[in-house]
Chains A and B, each alone.
Chain A
Amino acid sequence: MDQNLEQKARKIRLDVLKMLYECQSGHPGGSLSCVEILQALYENVMQYDAKNPKWQDRDRLVMSKGHACPTLYAFLADKGFFPREELWNLRQYGSFLQGHPDMNKCPGVDASTGSLGQGTSWALGYALAGKRQGKDGGREFKVYCITGDGESQEGMVWESAMAAAHYQLDNLTILFDHNGLQIDGTNDQVLARGDICKKYEAFGWEVIVVDGHDVNAITEALKKPSAGKPRFICCNTVKGKGVSFMENQVGWHGKPMNQEQYEAACRELEV
């Protein structure tokens, strides 16, 4: 991987860990697994204006796995939507960095999420609006939605999958953070969904599988020309990526770090 990209990913991960350590709550595992997905979007793909976060023509990002918002916040700060020092107020009283993203509080957040399964419907609605704007002579903006894999157990995800294909929303892309773990165990232990890619294909989506920690591969999948239908990118990831003792550990879904663990994690990433 490109050295600059890797450096940036390390920096973001360190920010995420500090945010989570400071507030002694939050979700390290799923925040660390989606770093490169957000990196591809913010560094290479999305159109946005940090000085005008509500710019009507911007691409929309829906963080459906809202519990992983520390990573989103870290990128927003990095891109200048707000000062980096604000990150250390995550989950504190009065902070605009809520435990799950609040679009009315945090600049750059396009949807208030956290209730799993709803993000894909938010993205569907935005994609319909993007098509409408394009038809009315404006920019047909693109819509990206990052979902968790456990989240696909919500029935509403499939309601929106059906509707997106029906309305031929080729301006909509789901990035599926496939780390395989959820609170109570592996996806297969909790509620096996079978082959997610075949399911989305059957629903009428274009499906692409990538290494979810390879920014260039994710970027390439995102930039592929339209196939005339919504796109599902299955990003194979590692929960807790970058911190050896968190990787692939169910227990690190939503556990605070003690000082020793925090320092050990930082040492690994600062190398």
Chain B
Amino acid sequence: MAEKKSTRIAYGEALAKLGAVDDKVLVCDADLAHATMTAFFADQYPDRFYNFGIAEGNMMTSSAALAQSGYTVFASTFAVFGAGRAFEQIRNAICYSKANVKIGCSHAGPSCGEDGGSHQAVEDIGLMRGLPNMTVLVPADAAEMEKAVFAAAKFQGPVYIRTGRLPTDICTDESTPFEIGKANVLRDGKDVAIIACGIMVPQAIIAADKLAEKGISARVIDMHTIKPLDVEAVKAAAKECGAVVTAEEHSIINGLGSAVAEVLADGMNAPFERVGIMDRFGQSGKPQKLFEAYGLTDKEIVEASERVIARKA
């Protein structure tokens, strides 16, 4: 995993590629085109790009109307201002009417670093997965992001796509499949299953390597779709590995860990732990420093894995 690239860059590049093959694609932004990277699209297709200014609610509802007129609309801003500030517009205009709007939100989680807690969404996955009609994608890396954008464009209905600012490890490749709702087992294993999303997927791979050195065989699952969750992959992980750990750059409340817990609570008897942000806001700092301070590294995944294995009956 030598190469690093941010998922926001991959998102912007994918939109520009999509624009070349589908003239029904429109892109909207709220004065953050050079941060969400929709600028890549805007530069090439200015007449299919709408800047709504710093007015996210208006952008989301207008995007619903554009989509209901026959267009595939990608609306982007930061996760805090999209999933958060414009939540009710996403609910009532986009999801309630089942509008074909893809909401691409960047700067999710502490990986956006120096901007601080006001800008680091720790709750967006939870907000979005609670909405009927919504699909929630959290791609693992830049390579997977491009596939996610094309899959979202092909899919009819609202999709939330979480992107990040920080260049992170690329852990999938061109041959890795991408199907909405279908988890990717990146590495098989039998002692513990690590189910991760977003930038925690490369961390899970590092953790699996370290566990292997200790003689522990860990399965690494890239759960790029939080909703609809791949329930069968979770059940198989619990049955075949007997212990489960989730890892996400998000609050341990309402995110991937909660979604997996909902499946496990439904009759699966496997020890389980969540690695994520412990119900608190972020703060300014270098991303790596924040990952350590908030428990978002391979170290926490290794420790949680050892604990759930020890709890096996």
Contact = CB atoms under 8 A, between A and B. Distances in A.
Interface of A: 56, 102-104, 110-112, 114-115, 118, 121-126, 128-130, 132-133, 155-156, 159-160, 162-163, 166-167
B212 interface: no
B71 A118 contact: no
Contacts of A125: 61-66, 68-69
Nearest to A129: B69
Contacts of B58: 121, 124, 156, 159-160, 163
B52 interface: yes
B92 interface: yes
A125 B70 CA distance: 12
Contact of B62 (A121, A130, A132, A166): A121
Contacts of A162: 53, 55
B188 interface: no
Nearest to A110: B68
A166 B63 CA distance: 16
A124 to B, nearest CB: 5
Contacts of A110: 68
Interface of B is mostly: helix
A125 B98 CA distance: 15
Contacts of B70: 56, 129
Interface residues of B, number: 24
Contact of A128 (B53, B55, B62, B98): B62
The residue among A125, A126, A156, A160 with the most chain B CB atoms within 10 A of its own CB is A125
Nearest to B91: A115
B138 to A, nearest CB: 27
Contacts, number: 88
A124 B65 contact: yes
A104 B67 CA distance: 14
Nearest to B61: A121
Interface string B42-86: 000000001011010110111111101111000000000000000
Given A112-B96, A159-B53, A160-B62, 10 more contacts: A103-B97, A104-B98, A112-B92, A121-B89, A122-B61, A123-B65, A130-B69, A156-B57, A156-B89, A163-B58
B65 A112 contact: no
Contacts of A104: 97-98
Contact of B57 (A129, A159, A166): A159
A178 to B, nearest CB: 23
A122 B69 CA distance: 11
Given A156-B61, A163-B55, A129 B66 contact: yes
A158 B182 CA distance: 42
A168 to B, nearest CB: 13
B84 to A, nearest CB: 15
A163 B96 contact: no
A133 B50 CA distance: 15
Contacts of B66: 125-126, 128-129
